[in-house]
């Protein structure tokens, strides 16, 4: 096979003899040798040759990343400043104000008052986002979602900067610019926008096997959420809690939605991009406006150094999660979002999160990705928000008193008084002083080893947890993952990249690899690449499911009722009342924005039929007189309204006048298609998707 790409540009590493791409988790010289061909030596912008572009410089194999790593700093600094002023990642975001309330004290583990003072409400600002797309992209692509919470505590701001997936693609911050460059639009053509279904992303994934765990999460229904209100949030990294005695306990942070988890189906997500670019933002806004305030439980996983030593993985590896069966989730608080921002730019766009913002009593672990993020997030704000005084922007400023000797600078908004701007000093009685008693304390950890560009051997298992995730899914969820992989890889033009990915899938599950190979039309399975650590068969973990964890509820859901001239107002009112009693929002859809009902009253619709497709609802009902049903059966928008609702596995309540449209839309009777008179049956069916219908409406891998 040629080492040239399809368009004749040389440079892609040739596959190994078994057809698999080379393993790239080695030193720079090994990479150069494996890649083949003639390559210039990678260097810094100062021309200094780079010995290893895979690993940050660390004090010991499992120790902290060193500030002296000028190669890491230059690489990330340049990456952070590539675009101004839009965020490089997480550019498309929606946010809301609210509060955090602690329900169980963690005083045994930490001195952080926000985690010890129960009942106290701490203001928060939470921003949800997509990762790959620009600020003008749509809300609903297949993508990881950012989940960032700024808590304005009495001891300073605390930022929990995470995602809706508990693991990340890479293990070391050194690789973050490479990963984002791979998933973003291809630089020579400027597309695809907000999508991972292209060659450069999958090329990177196949060459960096540590990505496999997050990859399979991203191919699951977790990456196409129904609503921002129905996503989990994860802090991803291990942090430390430090108590009054200076003792350390590791912790992972979780947000669990009170509404439960719910996703769209892929066809629905794709069509939502055309139906409503702002679907998630609008959904969050309307829920808050309606007083249906989104709420999450706040949970922690607590474990000791001794516990961690017994795990079959390294918790400092951000591509790994801790199954809840191993360390149970302990719910200790809640977050409620109850106020929409007054100004999108001033708040949602100017908010600056940084995982380095933690109050005393919380500390960092040696997770090498976290170590790089502690630098990167602060650095990127300097250019995005115009300089070092970005913390004075109201949305970023702490709500507790703060004092320092930082002066002047671009966009300085404070008028500092007095002659002293240094410490120590003796000239001003109210000059700020450091406090050993109240100040932030780092955990005194001993590390043994030799510094170097190394990665701990405990990070080398790339397939066991992806296998565990796959084995934990319900059959319908596995079918969605396999189908997503077929879709994504079908967009990849380069054959050896497709083959390499299927080879990796063999380490996760032979059946999955075969399903994807069949979907791509491969006549035989490609060879699996060498695995540094053979995959383990870890026990299935049901909490990793989405459909299996979804709640049968109408809380937070939306039901659409189609009406037209002559519709029976009593039937409409009965369906609306039953849905609203269960906590659903109800919207009226009609061929025109105002219709005359059977009793002669006028009803103003919430949406016009052609502009309000059924994708924006969780279930639909229809109340039409027979002649209106006959007329709308000739209207493509009406036929698609029901065809899409049926194809997206939603409950449908239909009157006799609607039956002619259902016939035209090829809607067959099943448990989710009920008569409008059976309001109770409709409400029960609307609380969940009709998963048993799916094999009748689409072919899955």
CA distances to 113, 151, 156, 199, 514 from 108, in Å: 12, 21, 21, 50, 50
Residue 635 near residue 564, CB atoms below 8 Å: no
Q: Cβ of 401: how many Cβ atoms within 10 Å?
A: 7
What angle do the packed helices 569-581 and 679-686 form, to 10 degrees?
40
d(CA 269, CA 275): 10
Strands, E assignment, 449-516: 452-453
H-assigned helices in 290-354: 305-309
Residue 234 near residue 166, CB atoms below 8 Å: yes
DSSP 8-state class, residue 344: I
| DSSP element (H, E) containing 274 | helix 266-275
Which of 157, 163, 357, 644 is labelled catalytic? 163
d(CA 179, CA 81): 16
Sign of CA dihedral 389, 390, 392, 398: negative
Residue 115 near residue 361, CB atoms below 8 Å: yes
Residue 170 near residue 211, CB atoms below 8 Å: yes
Give the tokens for residue 430.
């109210």
d(CA 701, CA 699): 7
Q: How many residues does the chain have?
A: 701
Pairing of strands 651-654, 673-675: parallel
Q: Is 163 a catalytic residue?
A: yes
Q: Cβ of 409: how many Cβ atoms within 10 Å?
A: 12
Determine the 3-state secondary structure of 523 from DSSP: coil
Pairing of strands 558-563, 619-623: parallel
Determine the 3-state secondary structure of 173 from DSSP: helix
Residue 134 near residue 193, CB atoms below 8 Å: yes
Residue 283 near residue 229, CB atoms below 8 Å: yes
Residues 6 or more apart whose Cβ sits within 8 Å of residue 485: 219, 501, 505, 512, 516, 519, 701
97 forms beta bridges with 125, 339
What angle do the packed helices 495-508 and 464-472 form, to 10 degrees?
80
Q: Is 81 a catalytic residue?
A: no
Residue 589 near residue 611, CB atoms below 8 Å: no
The residue assigned the tokens 């991972």 is 196
Which of 12, 55, 90, 480 is labelled catalytic? 90
The candidate with the shortest Cα–Cα distance to 459, out of 175, 184, 160, is 175
Active site residues: 90, 163
């Amino acid at each position: 096979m040629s080492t040239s790409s399809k368009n004749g540009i040389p440079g892609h590493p040739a596959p190994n003899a078994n057809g698999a791409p080379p393993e790239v988790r080695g030193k720079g010289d090994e990479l150069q040798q494996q890649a083949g061909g003639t390559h210039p030596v990678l260097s810094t912008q100062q021309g200094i040759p780079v010995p290893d572009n895979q690993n940050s410089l660390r004090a010991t194999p499992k120790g902290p990343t060193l500030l002296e790593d000028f190669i890491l700093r230059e690489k990330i600094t340049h990456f952070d400043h590539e675009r101004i002023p839009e965020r490089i990642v997480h550019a498309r975001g929606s946010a809301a104000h609210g509060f955090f309330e602690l329900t169980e004290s963690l005083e045994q583990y930490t001195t952080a008052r926000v985690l010890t003072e129960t009942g106290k409400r701490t203001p928060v600002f939470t921003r949800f986002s997509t990762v790959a797309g620009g600020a003008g992209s749509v809300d609903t692509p297949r993508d990881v979602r950012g989940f960032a919470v700024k808590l304005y505590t009495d001891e300073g701001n605390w930022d929990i900067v995470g995602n809706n997936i508990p693991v990340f693609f890479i293990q070391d911050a050194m690789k973050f610019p490479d990963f984002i460059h791979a998933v973003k639009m291809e630089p020579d053509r400027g597309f695809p926008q907000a999508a991972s279904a292209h060659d450069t992303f999958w090329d990177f994934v196949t060459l960096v096997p540590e990505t496999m765990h997050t990859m399979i999460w991203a191919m699951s229904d977790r990456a196409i959420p129904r609503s921002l209100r129905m996503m989990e949030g994860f802090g991803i990294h291990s942090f430390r809690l430090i108590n009054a005695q200076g003792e350390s306990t590791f912790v992972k942070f979780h947000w669990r939605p009170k509404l439960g988890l719910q996703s769209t189906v892929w066809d629905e997500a794709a069509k939502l991009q055309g139906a409503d670019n702002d679907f998630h933002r609008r959904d969050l806004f309307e829920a808050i406006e309606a007083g249906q305030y989104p709420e999450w439980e706040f949970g922690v996983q607590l474990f000791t150094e001794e516990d961690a030593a017994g795990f079959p993985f390294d918790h400092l590896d951000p591509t790994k999660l801790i199954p809840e069966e191993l360390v149970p989730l302990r719910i200790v608080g809640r977050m409620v979002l109850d106020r929409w921002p007054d100004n999108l730019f001033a708040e949602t766009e100017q908010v600056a999160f940084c995982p380095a913002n933690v109050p005393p009593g919380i500390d960092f672990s040696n997770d090498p990705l976290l170590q790089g993020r502690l630098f990167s997030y602060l650095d990127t704000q300097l250019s995005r928000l115009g300089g070092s005084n970005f913390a004075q922007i109201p949305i970023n400023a702490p709500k507790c008193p703060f004092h320092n000797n930082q002066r002047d600078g671009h966009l300085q908004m404070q008028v500092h008084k007095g002659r002293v701007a240094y410490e120590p000093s003796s000239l001003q009685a109210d000059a700020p002083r450091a406090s050993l008693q109240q100040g932030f304390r780092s955990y005194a950890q001993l590390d043994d080893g030799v510094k170097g560009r190394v990665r701990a051997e405990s990070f080398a298992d790339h397939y066991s947890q992806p296998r565990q995730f796959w084995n934990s899914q319900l059959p319908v969820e596995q079918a969605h993952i396999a189908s997503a992989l077929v879709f994504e890889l079908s967009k990849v033009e380069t054959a050896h990249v497709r083959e390499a990915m299927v080879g990796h899938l063999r380490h996760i599950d032979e059946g999955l690899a075969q399903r994807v190979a069949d979907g791509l039309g491969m006549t035989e399975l490609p060879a699996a690449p060498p695995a540094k650590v053979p995959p383990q068969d870890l026990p299935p973990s049901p909490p990793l499911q989405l459909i299996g964890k979804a709640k049968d509820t109408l809380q937070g859901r939306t039901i659409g009722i189609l009406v037209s001239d002559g519709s029976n107002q009593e039937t409409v009112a009965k369906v609306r009342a039953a849905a609203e009693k269960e906590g659903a929002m109800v919207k009226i859809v009609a061929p025109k924005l105002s219709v005359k009902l059977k009793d002669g009253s006028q009803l103003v619709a919430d949406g016009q039929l052609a502009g309000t497709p059924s994708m924006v609802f969780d279930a639909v009902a229809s109340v039409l007189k027979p002649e209106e049903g006959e007329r709308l059966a000739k209207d493509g928008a009406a036929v698609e309204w029901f065809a899409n609702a049926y194809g997206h596995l939603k409950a449908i309540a239909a009157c006799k006048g609607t039956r002619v449209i259902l016939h035209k839309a090829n809607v067959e009777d099943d448990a989710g298609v009920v008569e409008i008179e059976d309001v109770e049956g409709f409400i029960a069916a609307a609380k969940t998707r009709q998963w048993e219908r799916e094999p009748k409406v689409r072919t899955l891998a």
